[in-house]
Amino acid sequence: MEERETIIGLEIHCQLNTKSKMFCGCSTDFRDNEPNTHTCPVCLGLPGSMPMVNKRAIEYALKVAKALNCTIREESEFSRKNYFYPDLNKAYQITQYDKPLAECGKLLIDGDNGEKEVRITRIHLEEDPGRSVHMGTTDRGKYTLVDYNRAGIPLIEIVTEPDLRSPKEARKFLNKLRATLEYLDVFDSEKEGSLRVDANISLQGSERVEVKNISSYKGVEKALTFEVTRQRNLLRRGQTVARETRHFVEARGVTTSSRSKEEENDYRYFPEPDLLPLRVASWIDEITLPELPDARRERFITQYGISPEHAKTLTGGLKLAEFYENVATINPALAATWTADYLLGELNYRDFSIDAMPADLFRELLDLIAADSITDKSAVEILRLILDAVKDGKKPERPGEIVNRLGLAKTSGDQVTAMIQEVIAEQQAAVDDYYAGKMQALNFLVGQVMKKCRGRADPGHLNRLLKEILDKKV
């Protein structure tokens, strides 16, 4: 039986990294601070307080709209989204409804079947609500506390058309979007909760399910994969998929039906009477975009002569791209291989970001590799030692120091030749076997030399050298 096509659309909420909040002057730098310390009458929603638009937030949102090739409305409008919730201090959220900032955009991604254009339905600005802190579990806890430090953090909501065809494609879209937002310097992906995703997912010809509360990139693919399987199983058993809202429970990797009828909301949107319509016509031309991921990828290919695959990987995040450019000065190809193929693997294994690797140490390591002073095996060992030190909160040793301490310096050519001569003298039987045409004998001899130099020689190189010497003797 032919499988039904998976249809996915995303709604992404992304915190803009402005210095102050969306509608007041409070600092957005609230993480690691006491609850309710970054507040004022406006973001507390005190009676009588009024919102004041943060121009920087609008500028940031315009950058995103431009980068995603959107049509920007000359006049957009803020609306109130009315609903009751303890962490929503005014009992409405100021957002944009029928006149959003920007519409009809697109983002090119590396899709399941090659390059793909994902259509952006709209981008609008809104304020983040506060945060509920449940004491105990939601249903059994004695009480819930509310922290308004987050209230009023500027958000953009980016809505896509249902153009994504697999959970993997959804993740790829998010990676590309994240990279774009980072390049624009409007977003800090490292901050907890800075990106939240709601996903609409359906199997062709069947009802659509909204999955809410996905708060990490990795969660998106997990939640969607779970949902595809759940929906397929229902259909396979001859049941139907109910049109509903489900909650992603990150800890268990499952989605659960979440909204009771009582909680179905009619948001009663209407224009926010305390704010004037937003006219951005005069600003649009002043918004300039930096180099975006696609352009940077092309430049890496031409400027550094690296492979398109490496270029794509290395431009997938702003900090990674900057890191690469920082270390690519001497040998770009070597730097690309070592960054994309080795370093990223070691970082992922430790759940580290690129920030964990001190660039100067990595550059020193690349120098050692380029000078042929250490083997690849030793280089990986050094890399791991550095990252492990970082993980333990210790100051990592410099690669040179590690080489000296562990005696990892590659055995020099003369030394290797001398060792080969020793082995030939010691292993006459194996040498004879070699001359008799037994090629396994060569491997044995290589192994003997490796033993003598404690692995600090390149096996391929050793093989060739040994063969050369033996063949000359004939």
Q: Any alpha helices (H) in 184-251, and if so which ranges?
A: 217-236
Among 16, 30, 73, 92, binds another protein (CB under 8 A): 92
Residue 276, interface with another protein (CB under 8 A)?
yes
Contact call for residue 48 and another protein (CB under 8 A):
yes
Residue 437 binds another protein, judged by CB under 8 A: no
Closest approach, Cβ 84 to another protein, in A, equals: 6
x/- map, 224-263, another protein, by CB under 8 A? --------------------------------------x-
Q: Return d(Cα 269, Cα 93) in angstroms, integer.
A: 10
CA dist 146 and 139 (Å) reads 16
Q: Does 269 bind another protein (CB under 8 A)?
A: yes
Of the two residues 271 and 447, which places its CB atom closer to another protein in the complex? 271
- Beta-bridged to residue 94, according to DSSP, are 80
CB of 44: closest distance to another protein in angstroms? 8
Alpha helices in 119-242 (DSSP H): 167-183, 217-236
Decide: helix, strand or coil at residue 474: coil
Site string for another protein, 137-156 (x = CB under 8 A): -------x-x----------
Q: Which amino acid is at 228?
A: V
Question: Smallest distance, Å, CB 20 to another protein?
Answer: 14
Q: How far is the CB of 130 from another protein (least distance, A)?
A: 11
Residue from 27, 37, 55, 91 binding another protein (CB under 8 A) = 91
Q: How far is the CB of 304 from another protein (least distance, A)?
A: 49
Closer to another protein by Cβ: residue 81 or 456: 81
Q: CA nearest 369: which of 198, 136, 276, 377?
A: 377
Q: Does 89 bind another protein (CB under 8 A)?
A: yes
Rule CB under 8 A: which of 8-47 touch another protein? 41, 45-47
How far apart are alpha carbons 203 and 243 in whole angstroms? Answer: 12
Q: Which stretch binds another protein (CB under 8 A): 51-59, 217-225, 438-446, 456-464?
A: 51-59
Among 29, 190, 274, 376, binds another protein (CB under 8 A): 274
Q: Residues 6 or more apart from 414 whose CB is under 8 A from it?
A: none
In the complex, the smallest distance separating the C-beta of residue 101 from another protein, rounded to whole angstroms, is 17
The one-character DSSP state at 339 is I
Give the HSE-up count for residue 456: Cα atoms under 13 Å, Cβ half-sphere. 18
CB within 8 A of 89, min separation 6: which ones?
43, 44, 45, 129, 130, 148, 151
Q: Mark 49-73 as b/e (b = at least 16 C-beta within 10 Å).
A: bebebbebbbbbbbbbbbbbebebb
Which listed range, 50-58, 103-111, 345-353, 430-438, lies at the site for another protein (CB under 8 A)? 50-58
- Helix 167-183 × helix 217-236 angle, to 10°: 160
Q: Residue 91 or residue 370: which is nearer to another protein going by CB? A: 91
Binding-site ranges for another protein (CB under 8 A): 41, 45-53, 80, 82, 84, 86, 89-92, 144, 146, 262, 266, 268-270, 273-276
